Amino acid sequence: MVTKRLEFQDLIKEDGKSFRLNTKVYKDEEIFRVEQEIFFHNSWTFLAHESQVEYPNDYMTTYIGRYPVILVRDERGKLRCFMNRCRHRGSLVCRAKSGNSRFFRCFYHGWSYSNEGKLVGVPDREGYPPDFDLDSMGLIEVPRLETYKGFVFASLKRDPPSLQDYLGNARPYIDLIVDKYPEGIEVAKGTHVYTVQGNWKLVLENSLDHYHAPFIHKSYFEAIGNQAGGRIELRSKNLVLYLGNGHGLDLMFRETDVYGHETNILLPGNRLDEEKAKWAKRITFHLLLFPNAILFDSDSPATTIRVVRPLSVNSTEVSSYCYVPKGVREEIKEKFLRVYERFYGPAGMGAPDDVEAIKAVDQGMEADLFPWNDLSRGLHREIRDHELKELGDFEVAGNGTDDTFYRAFYRWYVKKLEEVEGHEL
Ligand code: FES
Ligand code: FE
């Protein structure tokens, strides 16, 4: 088989009238390997919300790219992140998804570690030389762990750009999510985890895609329309924004929910300043924190954190959590959960449609005699300035159904790939 050398810049073709993307970005093993290095192993990735490890000794296991890690609040209350790898022969040290424990005991030969990472127990210690140094055999700590407004991020690099800079223009939107409630947010117990057949970027793209909703989610809108006696209100003015650093936003100007009820009611004691409070009443959104988290602020379908984990070039694990306002009555939290379940999760009426659409894309793209996808929608009506700039800056915006985000994203993405030299595709 003849393999053709492809320069990264050849992944995009644009001439002012059209924009095409080579679908190798979703199918090529080498691109997948390179992008894991750049975007997951050499930058910041989202790990969790701190309410998921709220109390001393709470822990959860997750991943930074391909690296399994343990996120734990140690005995003294400090949040820490360790490689989930035994220093003996490399087994996962912790195989549970989450829990509360002062120790992690490897199930293979029983080496035990404190939740501060120290090796504290080795069965049959006498079998090792007397001067064998247990103190240097602790769990390897992830170099950087930081939080922004309760959202926890980690980096395998010792000196990444600051988290604040990395989040950049996404920060005002995180502020809106958290500060519109007097006590912020917390993640409700329980997780939906599912595997999608398709490249991880397809999941990100789908999460900001407004063009598809009336088609693949038709049955969902019909069902809730029936519940509401046929009186649902779907009209809203939408924008899609590219925020820089891979981050994006699908934003809806909407002051009522699908049933016409007033939404975005600010509770007394909210922590927004006057300017942000004005915006919190007017908008709702899906915020992509590249590379692996999407925060769904929308009142309907629901408040969600979707975490994306690439498994292979065309297989992606998605973990989905519902977040709720902290410190409010249980009935209110329950209402959030019921709305979440209606759209998301295995029995939801929405998310399974998206999974099916992504799979169909993955299958269709096998026909790669002409390997180009079209991302030209809205090329003639991109927005560089908008009153939203009062809230936060952005690079480019477009109508909510347009491909504006994808174009800006893939220009940035290809530049990042090009920074890595010596790869032959
Ligand atoms: Fe963990 Fe042996 S691999 S104790
Ligand atoms: Fe969808």
- Ligand 1: atom nearest CA of 93 is 1
pLDDT of amino acid 3: 42
Give residue limits of the domains in the chain.
Answer: 49-148, 169-418
**CB-ligand 1 contact for 261 (6 Å cutoff):** no
Encode burial over 285-300: b for 16+ CB neighbours within 10 A, e otherwise: bbbbbbbbbbbbbbbb
What 3-state DSSP class applies to 315?
Answer: strand
Q: Per residue of the chain (425 residues), what is the pLDDT tens digit?
A: 334 445 787 999 999 999 999 999 999 999 999 999 999 999 999 999 999 999 999 999 999 999 999 999 999 999 999 999 999 999 999 999 999 999 999 999 999 999 999 999 999 999 999 999 999 999 999 999 999 999 999 999 999 999 999 999 999 999 999 999 999 999 999 999 999 999 999 999 999 998 998 899 888 888 877 877 766 655 568 999 999 999 999 999 876 665 566 666 677 889 999 999 999 989 999 999 999 999 999 766 589 999 999 999 999 999 999 999 998 889 988 988 888 888 887 788 888 999 999 999 999 999 999 999 999 999 999 999 999 999 999 999 999 999 999 999 999 999 999 887 655 54
Ligand 1: which of 86, 95, 124 to mutate, most ligand atoms within 8 Å of CB?
86
pLDDT of amino acid 267: 77
**CB-ligand 1 contact for 91 (6 Å cutoff):** yes
Same fold, 49-148 and 169-418: no
Among all bound ligands, the one having the nearest atom to the CA of 207 is 2
Q: At what angle do helices 351-364 and 200-207 cross, to 10 degrees?
A: 130
- Ligand 1: atom nearest CA of 106 is 1
Could you please state the CATH topology (level 3) that the domain comprising 49-148 is classified under.
Rieske Iron-sulfur Protein (2.102.10)
CA of 305 to the centre of ligand 2 (A): 15
pLDDT of amino acid 323: 95
What 3-state DSSP class applies to 158?
Answer: coil
Q: Is 91 exposed, middle or buried (0-12, 13-18, 19+ CB in 10 A)?
A: middle
CA distances from 240 to 42, 376, 409, 419 (A): 27, 14, 12, 27
CA of 316 to the centre of ligand 2 (A): 16
Encode burial over 385-399: b for 16+ CB neighbours within 10 A, e otherwise: eeebeebbebbbbbb
CA of 207 to the centre of ligand 2 (A): 7
**CB-ligand 1 contact for 113 (6 Å cutoff):** no
CATH number 3.90.380.10 is the correct assignment for the domain at 169-418: yes
Two structure tokens written together for 417 = 């790939």
The CB density around residue 359, as the number of other CB atoms within 10 Å, is 15
pLDDT of amino acid 226: 80
- Ligand 1: atom nearest CA of 91 is 3
Among all bound ligands, the one having the nearest atom to the CA of 107 is 1
Half-sphere exposure of 401 (CA within 13 A, CB side): 8
Residue 251: closest CA among 202, 300, 303, 298: 298
CA of 84 to the centre of ligand 1 (A): 12
Residue with the nearest Cα to atom 3 of ligand 1?
89
**CB-ligand 1 contact for 212 (6 Å cutoff):** no
Residue with the nearest Cα to atom 4 of ligand 1?
109
pTM for the structure as a whole: 0.94
Distance CA 239, CA 398 (A): 6
Ligand 1: which of 105, 108, 128 to mutate, most ligand atoms within 8 Å of CB?
108
CA of 69 to the centre of ligand 1 (A): 16
